[in-house]
Structure 1
Amino acid sequence: MSLTTTTGRGELALQPGYFSSSAFVKAFRDDITSLIHAYHDSYGKETQIQPFQLFKQLWVSLGWKWLHFSVPEDRARDAFLHTACRLFIERTVRTEAPFTRAVALYGLHTFFHTQPSGTLPLLRSIAYIPIPIDQHTSLLSLPGTLQTPYLVPLAPAARNILSQFGTEGIFLLIPSSECGPFKPRSLPYEVVLDDTITTQPPDLLKKKGRPSKRERSRRAKNAVENLEKWLQENPHQGSDSLTDPSKATAELYHLHKASLLDKVDESKNEGAMQSDESLALLDASKHVVQRLKAAEMFLSSDNSGSQTTTSSRVGIERMEQTLKKENRGGLLSLLGN
């Protein structure tokens, strides 16, 4: 996502989408948190200054008074003002601590009422603060939550601010926050990734375009070195998988076969002459023999397959003899021996 655009005079200006992106939203949320912590540290030390007066001094000393002059372009400024007010309001909800809610309300009031006027060029300002109706109800109940001795001094300023907002008609009520009335619905809406940040080592970063001969040679050398290192660390696994790739498959087959036959033996030990498992194994063996006979008859009709048919008939006869012996494994007794 491009965060800037070029104006008619060749100057760079922030796009409105920047103020709903993580680049701005995360930074502004962190600034609000730092403002709340700084006020908390000063609030317990200054007993001679009124709470809201102390907040305004802190607002100026931390440089918040210059914030409005950072975005002069109209379209970007409108997005900036609405997003900033929205981020202040989100810290006034019931889930926040009463102290945090009060300081966020102080910040919302100060930010809104310090919008510059009479400047050249004229800076755009907003006349209303959109707020979901449920958050507005929660905000009106804020002074009632400041009841402890430590929080009581914050209540008068909170009441005056809410009364002033109500008298001036600053709040523009919108549907409940559950309906997602804001646009965008949630913040941040876009996530900006830093192209310079990567979890891979610098020598493994992918380069654009077709790799050079030198690069291909380096990759092949690294692959051989990694393979030799793995073979040294796993000599047995390496030799088995490279010299006899079927060994692992055969071992897995023997394991499953032994497990199946043990299951058949357990059923017989329980007193049944022929268990369900044993009958199922016998039926499956008979079905295999029948299918092979059908295939053998099909091949016998082809004169070119006489040698194949003869060997197939011998195999089928061996299977039938195995089934007549009624051993526990059926045709499995012929496999894997």
Structure 2
Amino acid sequence: MLPAPSSQSGKFVLQPAYFTSTLYVNAISNDIDALEKTYESQYNGEKEKDKPFTIFKTVWCAMGWQWLHFKIFDARSREMFLRVTCRLFIERALKARWPLEAAVAIFGLYVFFKTQPAGSPRLYTITHLPIPIDQYRSIIALPCEFGAPWKGSMTSVLRLLVAEGAFYILPENAQAPITLPREVLVQETPETVAEQPKKKGRPSKADRAAKAQVAVSSLEQWLQKTGVPKTSEPDSELTHHLLLESPSQTAIQYGNWKKTLLESLQDNLHGKDALHAANEKIVTRLQQAERLAPESAGGPGLERVQRAFIEMSVNRGGLLSLSEGAGLGDASQPKRRDKLRG
């Protein structure tokens, strides 16, 4: 008998660690920032500014925050989701520099905590807000730092939470995790992909695609660093500066620099000896490489290099004169060439 496939498909459940990671903490923090900006714009546009909490509830519903509770249904994940979200509102209130920032954080904490669904089907809810005692003292004293109309509204909201016993007092630094976010997501970059250890066996399609992406990204970064505009227009495409120069002009510059170098070396005995030694070393290395390579790897290339070295007394530059045709003629000193081959 073979096992029959299940008729019910598996359910995808977000793990609690997701809500303590940068994936959720950064996202919800950005949403709170947007809530503050929208509330500030709405509040400044109101003629009657003596009811800041009423204005906040309008903005809260207009931005769809009332639906946030229905994003998570799994009880284990939902508990962490509720605790982290409420904690972020508390920490935002304690770090606020302006009355409006503190008011948005306290109002958001109250509305989010009090609007937990209680109908059917029943979802997991939290009945208390864990808060260290030092933070509790600070948040209770927070309204006294601001004037009307913020002081009255924040005092009323906090008084309701205290009267209901919503705050669960903890010792100092007793929250878990101690800081948010706890898990930091590291984005995959060409550098991190290159540092990964090589796998045994043939690379998979995913590995080949990843390497190709790394190569493309590296090329794009190099082009960004070395690129110059094709034209003077603002939206002109980038290209490499060498592609903008005429090849003949580049060859002329190379010839002039090489001529200057050879003249400076020929003016003194040490320069001539250094140039001769450099040429001889290159020829010797090429001969060693030819002996190590297969027989088919040799050819006229090495012979031309040897002839150019032998003709140094004529062309002065030796191997530096290969671009001017050095080594193309017949060897005039076969004995010296045989000596080099030995």
TM-score by length of 2: 0.54
- Alpha-carbon distance change, 42 to 242 in structure 1, aligned in 2, over 3 angstroms: farther
Residue of structure 1 equivalent to 2:103: 102
Query: Which protein, 1 or 2, shows the higher relative CO under an 8 Å CA cutoff with sep ≥ 6?
Result: 1
Letter in 2 for 1:82: R
Residue of structure 1 equivalent to 2:229: none
1:182 to 175, 196, 206: 175
User: d(CA) in 1 for partners of 2:187 and 2:35?
Assistant: 26
Residue of structure 1 equivalent to 2:185: 192
Residue of structure 2 equivalent to 1:20: 20
The reply to whether residue 169 of structure 1 matches residue 162 of structure 2 is: no
Residue of structure 2 equivalent to 1:129: 129
Residue of structure 2 equivalent to 1:52: 53
- Alpha-carbon distance change, 52 to 242 in structure 1, aligned in 2, over 3 angstroms: farther
- Alpha-carbon distance change, 207 to 241 in structure 1, aligned in 2, over 3 angstroms: farther
Gaps of 5+ in 1: 1-7, 216-228, 245-337
User: d(CA) in 2 for partners of 1:9 and 1:204?
Assistant: 38
User: d(CA) in 2 for partners of 1:67 and 1:243?
Assistant: 78
User: d(CA) in 1 for partners of 2:97 and 2:40?
Assistant: 15
- Root-mean-square deviation (CA, aligned residues, Å) is 3.8
| Contact 2:39/2:59 (8 A) holds in 1 | yes
Secondary structure of 1:83 counterpart: helix
Residue of structure 2 equivalent to 1:88: 89
What's the CA shift for 1:194? 3.9
Secondary structure of 2:45 counterpart: coil
User: d(CA) in 1 for partners of 2:180 and 2:117?
Assistant: 26
User: d(CA) in 2 for partners of 1:243 and 1:104?
Assistant: 78
Residue of structure 2 equivalent to 1:43: 43
What's the CA shift for 1:119? 2.2
Letter in 1 for 2:181: P
Residue of structure 1 equivalent to 2:72: 71
- Alpha-carbon distance change, 241 to 53 in structure 1, aligned in 2, over 3 angstroms: farther
- Matched residue count: 209
Letter in 2 for 1:66: W
* Identical counterparts, % of pairs: 38
Secondary structure of 1:12 counterpart: coil
| Contact 1:94/1:138 (8 A) holds in 2 | no
Secondary structure of 1:173 counterpart: strand
What's the CA shift for 1:185? 1.3
Residue of structure 2 equivalent to 1:112: 113
Secondary structure of 2:33 counterpart: helix
Residue of structure 1 equivalent to 2:30: 30
| Contact 1:85/1:129 (8 A) holds in 2 | yes
What's the CA shift for 1:108? 0.2
Secondary structure of 2:124 counterpart: coil
- Structure 1 residue runs of 4+, over 6 Å off? 202-207, 232-236, 239-244
| Contact 2:99/2:150 (8 A) holds in 1 | no
> What aligned pairs does 1:1-337 form with structure 2 within 5 A after superposition?
10-48=10-48, 50-93=51-94, 96-120=97-121, 122-147=122-147, 152-176=148-172, 179=173, 181-195=174-188, 198-199=189-190, 210=202
What's the CA shift for 1:85? 0.5
Secondary structure of 1:172 counterpart: strand
What's the CA shift for 1:98? 2.8
User: d(CA) in 2 for partners of 1:72 and 1:81?
Assistant: 11
**Larger Cα Rg: Structure 1 or Structure 2?**
1
| Contact 1:102/1:142 (8 A) holds in 2 | no
Secondary structure of 1:13 counterpart: coil
User: d(CA) in 2 for partners of 1:107 and 1:35?
Assistant: 9
TM-score by length of 1: 0.55
What's the CA shift for 1:203? 12
User: d(CA) in 1 for partners of 2:89 and 2:278?
Assistant: 63
1:171-205 deviations in Å (ceiling 9; x for gaps): 011112xx3x111111111112344xx246x9999
- Alpha-carbon distance change, 199 to 119 in structure 1, aligned in 2, over 3 angstroms: same
Gaps of 5+ in 2: 1-7, 209-241, 243-250, 262-274, 282-342
- Alpha-carbon distance change, 187 to 94 in structure 1, aligned in 2, over 3 angstroms: closer
1:236-268 deviations in Å (ceiling 9; x for gaps): 9xx999998xxxxxxxxxxxxxxxxxxxxxxxx
1:72-91 deviations in Å (ceiling 9; x for gaps): 10000000000000100011
